[in-house]
Structure 1
Amino acid sequence: MGGEQSTPVNQIPPSPEFAAPWRKMPWGNKHTLEEKLRNFELCRSEIKSVRILVVGEVGAGKSSFINSVNNVFQERITSGALAGTCGTSFTKVYKTHHIKGKNGSRLPFVFSDIMGLERADGSKGAHVDDIISALKGCLAEGYKFNPVSPVSENDSTYKTNPKVSDQTFCLVNVIAANQVSLMDQKFIEKMIQIREKASEYNLPQVLIMTKVDETCPLVKRDLRKVYTSKKIEEKNYHKEVDTNDDMDVLILK
């Protein structure tokens, strides 16, 4: 009052997490989830495995996610899909990754790893037409991606009559949490084009958000806060040298 300066009222900052999780997660049920997938059986005997295509921006963690799934079933850190940290795609060729089960057997699902998408014009990163060809199962194993010249029906690396096992059963879109706000319109348009084509083929689609620990300190301290955090949804292995049951539950679920 008068000439004295008023003392501001101390404001309590908003909590970085919700009072209750916005998605239920069976923490502690890693073994149950793992065994359910190990014992998964296909209803058609002629189909040996279902193919999951993993797409995303360069550096989003596509290959790391595939390794994370393999880590769960191997119970150790693996590097079947080579992952890079530079600004350009580390994956240059179309490659199928099998997930090993017990006694050296293979589980009935495989992952297709492809060159990452770039935000720039068509001179870098995977061409959208190549990704659509992968959805249809038309890319040959080992096909080398060319950002400016996608595969055509006349190429020897194009499968005109792909088998059911070559075709994609599920599209996984990988997005880095710490890059979402930086996505430009060109990249978004590429993602929309791919997702619309997957919808046209009636393919189920999943969105996985990686690198959430680099975005939310709350989750970095405690992974189980991932579904009470106001910022985050998913996380996969990043720099770990050992497996983690809570992280495995996120991947398996």
Structure 2
Amino acid sequence: MGKEIILSCETNTEGLTVTWEKDGQKLMCVQDKHIMKQDGTECSLKILNADERDDGNYTIQLENNLGTASCSAMVNVELSEWRTVQWEQNATVSSLKEFKIDNDHVRQLRFLLYGPVGAGKSSIINTIRTIFEDRQFEGLCVNCPVATLSKCYTKNYLKYSIGTEGALPLIFSDTMGVEKGESEGVCSDDIINALKGHITEGYVFNPTGQILEDNPLYRINPSLSDRIHCLVNVIAADKIALMDVEVINKMKKVREAASRIGFPQVVFMTRVDLACPLTTRNLHCIYRSRKIKENMQKCSNLLGVPVNCIFPVKNYYEETTVNEDTNCLMLDALKHIIPWVHKYVVNCSTMSTNKQ
């Protein structure tokens, strides 16, 4: 922000007609902002006092009576950091390992992961388990993050504890992915039933209809301990613009049901390393990236979840070693949402006691 950017191109001949474009549109020179020069075989564009509006793909178009040529360069302008991350994991890991639930009736906080096929739900669980077991964890089969896959691996409703022998009082439940089509992907009513605690582990999701009360895996009278305590919507940062309206509407239906129940909801925005060149090079730029900030706002607009409840994360999917930056980004999300969810559980227990 505020720096001078110079883009230059050396040609092999003089007298060319030069046009500059930004994001496919002709760039109109703005006084005290752009300086375009053509000096012999050197062409340049100077951008003064760069800010986030100057972020984009710049192309120089060259033309003479022999033909045309062009070349492009991507300009990424870092914003002022609007959130901070502790890029050293030990203190946060130790703090979370010491976390205890202040409720005699709830032994574990329960999180349900919900989102489109390939968004990274199972990878989130693998990543969290990797952090707290200090080794690369590949306990769940996951979709390849760079492939376009139409079907999900997860078919059953399964829960996973965190830490060696479930040392942390956290449970993450994996679900079948959301797909477009009335009889494709997980049934929205099944997710709502799971949120309420009616579905027990092992249930096989049926895209054509919700679980019935006569199913042996249907829990009639779930307790606070049986219920989900936080809905984690999982959205891929590099696929937001491509999300089908049917998928969005299904997720809205579940989110609205969760709002009526009244428990916490967050968004884990995955694949941030694939969504922005800055974060591809360096995860420390996550909260200085215009692209990431825009995608967080898009998530908020699509689902109605406030931006301060949206957490960009990176999952393990191709790495063979543990990476502290990847861990710290996930830990930053966990250290914010766990106290919030814990407060919800304590308040629910207090309200239940007062009614008795």
Percent of aligned pairs with the same amino acid: 39
Secondary structure in structure 2 of the residue aligned to 1:165: coil
Per-residue CA deviation, residues 51-93 of structure 1 (Å, 9 max, x unaligned), is 0000010000000011100000011111223212332010000
Give the match for residue 83 of structure 2. Answer: 23
Q: Which residue does 1:235 correspond to in 2?
A: 314
235, 251, 260: which one aligns with 1:175: 235
For the 8 Å contact 2:110–2:230, the answer to whether it is kept is yes
Kindly indicate whether residue 94 of structure 2 is the aligned counterpart of residue 94 of structure 1. no
CA contact (8 A) 1:81 1:97 kept: no
Tell me which residue corresponds to 2:69: none
- Corresponding residue for residue 211 of structure 1: 271
Amino acid at match of 1:38: K
Which amino acid counterpart does residue 107 of structure 1 have in structure 2? L
Partner of 2:140 in structure 1?
A: 81
The answer as to whether partners of 1:226 and 1:234 remain within 8 angstroms in 2 is: no
Q: Give the Cα separation in 2 of the matches to 1:146 and 1:7.
A: 60
**What is the CA distance between 1:16 and its match in structure 2?**
1.9
Indicate the residue corresponding to 2:252 in structure 1: 192
The answer to whether 1:145 aligns with 2:205 is yes
Read off the aligned partner of 1:87 and give its amino acid letter: S
Paired residues of 1:218 and 1:225 also in contact (CA < 8 A) = yes
Structure possessing the higher radius of gyration over alpha carbons: 2
In 1, are the aligned partners of 2:79 and 2:290 still within 8 Å (CA)? Answer: no
Q: For the structure 1 residues 11 and 42, does the alpha-carbon distance in structure 2 shift closer, same or farther, using more than 3 Å as the test?
A: same
Question: In 1, distance between residues paired with 2:253 and 2:136?
Answer: 34
Match of 1:158 among 215, 218, 229: 218
**What CA distance in whole angstroms lies between the structure 1 residues aligned with 2:123 and 2:16?**
56
CA-CA distance at 1:11 after TM superposition: 4.8
The aligned amino acid for 1:248 is N
Match of 2:331 in 1: 252
CA distance in 1, matches of 2:108, 2:16: 73
Look up the equivalent residue of 1:180 and give its one-letter code: I
Kept in 2, the 8 Å contact 1:61–1:210? The answer is: yes
Q: Which has the higher strand share?
A: 2
**Equivalence for 1:53:** 112
Describe the superposition over 1:24-55 as per-residue Cα deviations: whole angstroms up to 9, x where unpaired: 11122x11111111111011123210100000
In 2, Cα distance between equivalents of 1:136 and 1:100: 25
> Within the alignment, does 1:112 sit opposite 2:173 as a pair?
yes
Determine which of 119, 127, 140 is the counterpart of 1:68: 127
Please tell me the residue identity of whatever aligns with 1:91: T
* Of 71-80 and 227-236, the range deviating more from structure 2: 227-236
Q: Please give the alpha-carbon distance, in whole angstroms, between the structure 1 residues aligned to 2:122 and 2:77.
A: 30
Q: Which amino acid aligns with 1:239?
A: E
Local SS of the residue matching 1:231: helix
Task: Say whether the 8 Å CA contact 1:123–1:147 is kept in structure 2.
Answer: yes
Letter aligned with residue 261 of structure 2: Y
The residue number in structure 2 matching 1:37 is 96
Q: Could you tell me how far apart the structure 2 residues matched to 1:205 and 1:56 are? A: 13
The alpha carbon displacement at 1:7 in A equals 5.8
Q: Which amino acid aligns with 1:213?
A: D
Aligned to 2:63: none
Higher mean displacement: 219-228 or 152-161? 152-161
SS at match of 1:172: strand
SS, match of residue 229 in structure 2: strand
Distance in 2 of aligned mates of 1:65 and 1:234: 9
| Unmatched runs of 5 consecutive residues or more in structure 1 | none
Unaligned runs of 5+ in 2: 1-14, 20-35, 37-44, 48-53, 56-74, 293-311, 333-356
- Measured on the aligned residues, the alpha-carbon RMSD in Å equals 1.7
User: Does structure 2 retain, via aligned residues, the 8 Å contact 1:176–1:210?
Assistant: yes
State TM-score, norm by structure 1. 0.91
Contact 1:129 1:150 in 2 (8 A): yes
Deviation at 1:164, TM superposition (A): 2.3
- Contact 1:94–1:144, Cα closer than 8 Å, also in 2: yes
Q: CA deviation at 1:121?
A: 1.1
